[in-house]
Amino acid sequence: MEQTPLLKVNNIEVIYEHVILVLKGVSLEVPAGGIVSLLGANGAGKTTTLKAISNLVKAERGEVTKGTVEFEGKRIDKMYAPAVVKLGLIQIMEGRRTFEHLTVEDDLLTGAYTRGHDTKGIKESLETVYKYFPRLVDRRNAKTGYISGGEMQMCAIGRALMAKPKLMLLDEPSMGLAPLLVHEIFEIIVQLNKEENVAMLLAEQNANMALQFARYGYIMENVLVVLDGDAETMKDRMIGKIRPFSSCTL
């Protein structure tokens, strides 16, 4: 990875409740404008790694106790999560979380809360979201609790886009979706990367899909990074290494 890293995670350790070690010595990088995959089975530590980067571990009584997380050269592991969002680092949670009582459009607008009263800019961003996710145009007045799983995932990504991110952390974007819809979601992720210059860190069990689109990958096992390399090299080296992955079909 020769580009200057936008995100740099340096040998971090995460402990919950002051006693439970959930990450140990994790290091990774995401270059500006890059797509990087973080692969591993359930329980490997992928979600915790993303939450440590975005500082959401603090909401779960967790803490980065060793190492550092740097974004655009600035240390962020001691910052509060809302401040991290304002810098342009946005996490999209596992499970297509939406505000079920809100309409799709109102749900999308919650993603712009850090932008204050930038009415014109927010309106332009909303139109950008609808450009990438035309399905949401017809559903804009529907309650998000009543839309399909794929539409919920689109809404979650669109809401993150409303915050004008420089880096998106996507946790299992393919989970529970039909294969054709998964491919559609990943194609949109690549479009956002190319056209909006948004870097992506994808935490995925579906290694085959993730490595079709990522340029670099890391494999986690038992809260450690055990292998990393460019996507093509990883495809060759990972056969057998990732047998426990429930959704991998290499």
The whole-number pLDDT of residue 239 equals 54
Residues 69 and 111 in one domain: no
Alpha helices in 166-230 (DSSP H): 179-195, 207-213
Residues 1 and 84 in one domain: yes
Residue 124 lies in a domain: yes
Residue 60 lies in a domain: yes
Residues 2 and 61 in one domain: yes
CATH number at residue 26: 3.40.50.300
Tokens of 48: 């915790």
| Residue 122 belongs to domain spanning | 95-164
For β-strands 224-230 and 216-221, DSSP reports them as: antiparallel
**pLDDT tens digit sequence for 148-195:** 999 999 999 999 999 999 999 999 988 888 888 888 999 999 999 999
Last residue of a domain, one of 112, 144, 164: 164
Residues 41 and 156 in one domain: no
The model's confidence at residue 7, banded by pLDDT at 50, 70 and 90, is very high
Residues 76 and 112 in one domain: no
- Compute the distance between CA of residue 216 and CA of residue 206 in angstroms, rounded to an integer: 15
Residues 14 and 68 in one domain: yes
Residues 45 and 137 in one domain: no
Residue 238's Cα: distance from chain center in Å?
22
Residue 130 lies in a domain: yes
Residue 193 lies in a domain: no
Q: Is the pLDDT of residue 242 over 50?
A: no
What angle is formed at CA 157 by the lines to CA 37 and CA 223, rounded to 5 degrees?
Answer: 35
How many domains, in total, are found in the chain? 2
**pLDDT tens digit sequence for 11-63:** 999 999 888 989 999 999 999 999 999 998 888 899 999 999 999 999 888 99
Residue 43 lies in a domain: yes
10 Å Cβ neighbour count for 250?
A: 15
Residue 183 lies in a domain: no
**pLDDT tens digit sequence for 50-94:** 999 999 999 888 999 999 999 999 999 999 999 999 999 999 998
